Amino acid sequence: MSKKKLNIGLVGCGFMGRTHSNAYLKVNKFFDLEYQPVMRCLCDLNEEKGKAFAENWGWETMETDWRKLLERDDIDVIDIVTPNNTHRDIVVAAAEAGKIVLCEKPMAINAQQGQEMVDAIEKAGVPNMVWYNYRRVPAITLAKQLIDEGRIGKVFHYRAKYLQDWTISPDLPQGGDALWRLDAKVAGSGVTGDLLAHSIDTAIWLIGGMDKVTAMTETFIKEREHQVTGEKQAVTIDDACAFLARFKNGALATFESTRYARGRKNHNTFEVNGEHGSIAFDLEDAHQLQYYDNRLDSHVHGWQTILVTDFEHPYMDKWWVPGCAIGYEHTFINALSDFLTGLESGEPVRPNFRDALETQCICDAVLKSAKTEAWESVGV
134-181 pLDDT, tens digit each:
999 999 999 999 999 999 999 999 999 999 999 999 999 988 877 899
Q: What is the pLDDT of residues 180-227, one digit of tens each?
A: 998 888 999 999 999 999 999 999 999 999 999 999 999 999 999 988
Cα 165 to Cα 147: distance, rounded to the nearest angstrom: 32
Report whether pLDDT(1) > 80: no
pLDDT at 228: 86
Provide, for the chain, the percentages of residues in helix, strand and coil under a 3-state DSSP scheme, each rounded to the nearest 5: 40, 25, 35
Model confidence band, residue 53 (pLDDT cutoffs 50, 70, 90): very high
Mean per-residue pLDDT, 265-270: 97
Residue 229 confidence (pLDDT): 87
Query: In whole angstroms, what is the distance from residue 308 CA to residue 314 CA?
Result: 8
Predicted pLDDT of residue 176: 80
Q: Give the model confidence (pLDDT) of 88-138 as tens digits.
A: 999 999 999 999 999 999 999 999 999 999 999 999 999 999 999 999 999
Determine contact, residues 98/122, Cβ cutoff 8 Å. Answer: no
Q: What is the pTM of this model?
A: 0.96
Residue 5 φ/ψ, nearest 5 degrees: -80, 135
Calpha distance 148→136 (Å, rounded): 16
Residue 222 confidence (pLDDT): 94
Mean pLDDT to the nearest integer, 278-300: 97
Percent of the chain with pLDDT over 90: 94
Render pLDDT for 330-374 as a digit per residue (tens, 0 to 9).
999 999 999 999 999 999 999 999 999 999 999 999 999 999 999
Give yes or no for a contact between 286 and 137, defined as CB atoms under 8 angstroms apart.
yes
**Distance from C-alpha of 229 to C-alpha of 241, rounded to nearest angstrom:** 28
Separation CA 317–CA 331 (nearest Å): 14
CB 162 within 8 A of CB 270: no
